[in-house]
């Protein structure tokens, strides 16, 4: 049987104020792809981070999740210091750069498991920073400089294979 590609196109996040969230993401330089409102109260807004093949959607009557409950949405960058600096300059409250001192510590569920600064020797997949949107939805910024074998080609901001 032929394999069928399954590509992540969009991730839905819950927000409390659609217009306020739309302005927040646009201020961060995320491209506005869609803003459709319908008579039944359904509204969908889609924004895409610079260079990303996948988008974020939010709106009204789009999810039953409570605003601010999305966690661990990864944003992959080739230079974490530059990405952090850029996001801070655009108004995001971004954590300092850190690396896990214990497996899984990047998710913030392991007490004391984060060490200050980038991963030793800037190991690919090892350096992180975090930020939250206006509702508290959590993003995890990860520096990837060399992809693991078998990864699909990245479009946008080039990352070495």
Distance between start and end Cα atoms, the chain:
29
Comparing C-alpha atoms, which of 156, 140, 133, 142 is closest to residue 76? Answer: 142
Look at residue 126 and tell me whether its pLDDT is greater than 90.
Answer: yes
Look at residue 52 and tell me whether its pLDDT is greater than 90.
Answer: yes
User: Quick one: how far is CA 148 from the chain centroid?
Assistant: 20
Look at residue 39 and tell me whether its pLDDT is greater than 80.
Answer: yes
Ramachandran sector of residue 156 (left: φ over 0; alpha: ψ -120 to 50; beta: rest)? left
Q: Does domain 10-143 have CATH number 3.30.1360.120?
A: no
Look at residue 151 and tell me whether its pLDDT is greater than 80.
Answer: no
Domain boundaries, the chain: 10-143
**Is the pTM above the cut of 0.85?**
yes
Give the Cα separation of 153 and 125 in Å (integer): 16
**Other CB atoms within 10 A of residue 25 CB:** 22
- Pairing relationship of beta strands 10-12 and 55-60 according to DSSP bridges: parallel
Assign 108 a pLDDT band (cuts: 50, 70, 90).
confident
Two tokens, residue 63:
């999810």
**pLDDT value of residue 161:** 38
For 103, residues 6+ apart whose C-beta sits below 8 A from its C-beta are: none
Per-residue burial over 132-159, b if 16 or more Cβ lie within 10 Å, else e, is bbebebbbbbbbbbebeeeeeebeeeeb
Arithmetic mean of pLDDT, 112-126:
92
Length of the chain, please? 161
């Amino acid at each position: 049987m032929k394999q069928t590609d399954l590509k992540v196109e969009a991730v839905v996040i819950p927000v409390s104020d659609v217009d306020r969230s739309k302005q927040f993401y646009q201020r961060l330089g995320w491209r506005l792809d869609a803003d459709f409102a319908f008579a039944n109260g359904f509204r969908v807004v889609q924004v895409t981070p610079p260079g990303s093949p996948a988008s974020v959607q939010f709106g009204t009557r789009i999810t039953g999740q409570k605003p601010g409950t999305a966690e661990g949405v990864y944003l992959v960058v080739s230079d974490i210091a530059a990405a952090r600096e850029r996001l801070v300059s655009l108004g995001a409250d971004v954590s300092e750069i850190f690396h896990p001192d214990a497996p899984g510590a990047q998710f913030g569920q392991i007490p004391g498991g984060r060490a200050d600064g980038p991963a030793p020797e800037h190991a690919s997949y090892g350096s992180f920073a975090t930020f939250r949107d206006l509702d508290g939805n959590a993003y995890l910024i990860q520096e990837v400089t060399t992809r693991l074998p078998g990864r699909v080609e990245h479009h946008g901001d080039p990352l070495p294979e």
